[in-house]
Homo-oligomer: A and B are copies of this chain.
């Protein structure tokens, strides 16, 4: 698994000017970029600070990414690509549709606890960024254009896969796509709430996220259509 991940996580959409995975500097931009965004938050994070951190010039970073927004899109895309791959892995060879759906939901909604030694990116930091900053990646005036460019492909794909798992269990469900995207996005939001606005969740919500979403999906999926 670990080896496979290393090989397979690729961000294919051209959100970059120059492929950061292809060069040493590019990889350091990603690695330290993830650490800095996690540490400072997106608003306080600047290419200037990242450059000092890397001992390089601001302009060098601009050769890879147009601006920090694009870098964020790239990082979030990487995150969802990784989760998508993990999803495929976690659901492989499970014959029973219901069991596979349950595993899929758990795979997607489980918090990341492992630093992940197989990648130069810190997976836990990446998870924290996805939780706290991913809304900023798409909630802008530029969404429609970026969407047309295919910037959110990996997020869409993981939602779509979950939708397919839902449909296999319940082919006549009226809202499989909404249900799927609600689980994928909702698991991030609920994690944020658990960390920062705990009155919006139950106690120990952090560790019971998956349980909540599994129950949520299965109760809709089991409810007879009127």
The answer to whether A216 and B136 have CB atoms under 8 Å apart is no
CB neighbours (8 Å) of A222 from chain B are 219, 223
For A140, the chain B residues whose CB sits under 8 A away are 41, 43
Given known pairs A197-B152, A219-B220, A219-B222, the reply for A40 and B141 (CB within 8 Å) is: yes
Of the candidates A181, A182, A193, the one having the most CB atoms from chain B within 10 angstroms of its own CB is A182
A189 proximal to B (CB < 8 A): yes
**Nearest CB on B from A167, distance (A):** 12
Interface segment among A5-13, A46-54, A95-103, A170-178: the answer is A170-178
Interface residues of chain A: helix, strand, loop or mixed (majority) = helix
Q: 8 Å CB contacts to B: which residues of A105-127?
A: none
From B141, B199, B220, give the contact of A177 (CB < 8 A).
Answer: B199
Of chain B, the residue at the smallest CB distance from A135 is B135
Cβ < 8 Å to B, chain A residues 128-172 = 132-133, 135-136, 138-141, 143-144, 147, 152, 156, 159-160
**Is A64's CB within 8 Å of the partner chain B?**
no
Binds B, one of A22-30, A55-63, A75-83, A200-208: A200-208
| Chain B contacts for A178, CB-based, 8 A | 190, 193, 200-202, 205, 212
Docked CA distance A31–B176 (Å)? 39
Is B156 within 8 A of A200, CB to CB?
A: yes
A66 on the interface (CB 8 Å rule)? no
Instruction: Report chain B residues within 8 Å CB of A215.
Output: 174-175, 220, 223
Given the interface pairs A178-B201, A182-B182, the reply to whether A136 lies near B138 with Cβ below 8 Å is: no
Q: Which 7 pairs between the two chains have the least Cβ-Cβ distance?
A: A135-B135, A41-B141, A219-B223, A181-B200, A219-B220, A219-B219, A143-B196
B186 touches A182 (CB 8 A): yes
CA distance in complex: A182, B192 (Å): 12
Question: What is the CB-to-nearest-CB distance from A148 to chain B, in angstroms, rounded to a whole number?
Answer: 11
CA distance A156 to B208 in the complex (A): 21
A133 surroundings in chain B (CB, below 8 A): 139
Jot down 20 A-B pairs with beta carbons below 8 A, ordered by A. Answer: A43-B140, A136-B139, A143-B196, A174-B202, A175-B202, A175-B212, A177-B199, A177-B201, A177-B202, A178-B190, A178-B201, A178-B212, A181-B189, A182-B186, A185-B189, A186-B186, A215-B223, A216-B220, A222-B223, A223-B223
